[in-house]
């Protein structure tokens, strides 16, 4: 896609892009991929997956979303819709992992799960490529949060979703979002805000964006 066309298309709303994809302009899905790569990556990382698993989950989510575009009814924002798909994929993978006794040990109840926040392996390129590596204090502080507070903090402060979108994604009330966010901030403020801005945590480095676009588009083509 030429740069000038990409720039012009990038100004369109999600719904306008979706409408054009559905009438045959399939290559425009690249814009959706680039637009939501950072959000999906942060969701997976906050849920407890390492860089490689996060990318696999992103691909699965973006591919399944492509084939479900006609089902998007605009009842919520597209961001909320795709994040909910990502959260569902994260949860299903966690359940599958528990049955296979894989490295990640997550309990099978949605509200009481205690996922690892990151992978400590030296083989995780996401950590080494990040603008700021998480210090042990920050990582320990976030992992100590109950998952209901951690995911609200992640969606609101790390991923940048608003209160309404967060409530819809997690299927809780907006009041619950506000209460959980305030409590999470109180727990984390002394450990995190004095060291890093929340949006700097688990960035999806731009070096990964083009390969992800290629992965998703190739997978979509192979499934047609």
- For 3-223, CATH gives 1.10.1740.10
Q: What is the pLDDT of residues 63-75, one digit of tens each?
A: 999 999 999 988 8
Tell which wins on pLDDT, 82 or 50: 82
> Could you give the CA distance from residue 119 to residue 28 in angstroms, rounded to a whole number?
34
Tell which wins on pLDDT, 158 or 52: 52
- pLDDT at residue 29 above 50? yes
> Could you give the CA distance from residue 56 to residue 212 in angstroms, rounded to a whole number?
9
Q: What is the pLDDT of residues 130-178, one digit of tens each?
A: 444 455 556 667 767 888 898 898 888 888 889 999 999 999 999 999 9
Tell which wins on pLDDT, 122 or 212: 212
- pLDDT for res 85: 95
Question: Do the beta carbons of residue 159 and residue 43 sit within 8 Å?
Answer: yes
Tally of CB atoms within 10 A around 220: 17
Question: Do the beta carbons of residue 17 and residue 9 sit within 8 Å?
Answer: yes
Question: Do the beta carbons of residue 30 and residue 72 sit within 8 Å?
Answer: no
Confidence of residue 2 (pLDDT cuts 50, 70, 90): low
> Could you give the CA distance from residue 84 to residue 158 in angstroms, rounded to a whole number?
16
- Sorted by where each begins, the domain ranges of the chain are 3-223
pTM: 0.70
State the alpha helices, DSSP H only, in the chain: 3-9, 14-22, 29-47, 51-66, 78-99, 125-129, 136-143, 147-153, 163-170, 174-188, 209-223
């Amino acid at each position: 896609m030429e740069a000038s066309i990409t720039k012009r298309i990038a100004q369109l709303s999600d719904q306008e892009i979706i409408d054009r994809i559905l009438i045959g302009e399939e290559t425009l899905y690249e814009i959706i991929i680039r637009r939501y790569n950072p959000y999906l990556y942060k969701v997976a990382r906050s849920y407890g997956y390492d860089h490689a698993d996060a990318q696999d989950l992103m691909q699965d989510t973006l591919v399944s979303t492509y084939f479900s575009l006609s089902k998007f009814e605009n009842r919520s924002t597209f961001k909320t819709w795709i994040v909910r798909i990502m959260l569902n994929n994260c949860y299903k993978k966690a359940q599958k992992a528990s049955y296979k006794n894989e490295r990640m040990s997550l309990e099978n109840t949605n509200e009481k799960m205690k996922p690892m926040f990151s992978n400590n392996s030296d083989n995780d390129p996401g950590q080494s490529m990040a603008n700021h590596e998480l210090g042990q204090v920050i990582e320990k502080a976030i992992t100590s949060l109950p998952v209901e507070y951690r995911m609200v903090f992640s969606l609101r402060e790390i991923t940048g979703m608003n209160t309404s979108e967060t409530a819809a994604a997690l299927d809780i009330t907006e009041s619950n979002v506000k209460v959980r966010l305030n409590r999470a901030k109180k727990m984390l403020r002394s450990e995190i805000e004095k060291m890093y801005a929340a949006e700097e945590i688990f960035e999806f480095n731009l070096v990964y964006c083009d390969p992800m676009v290629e992965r998703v588009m190739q997978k979509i083509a192979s499934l047609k």
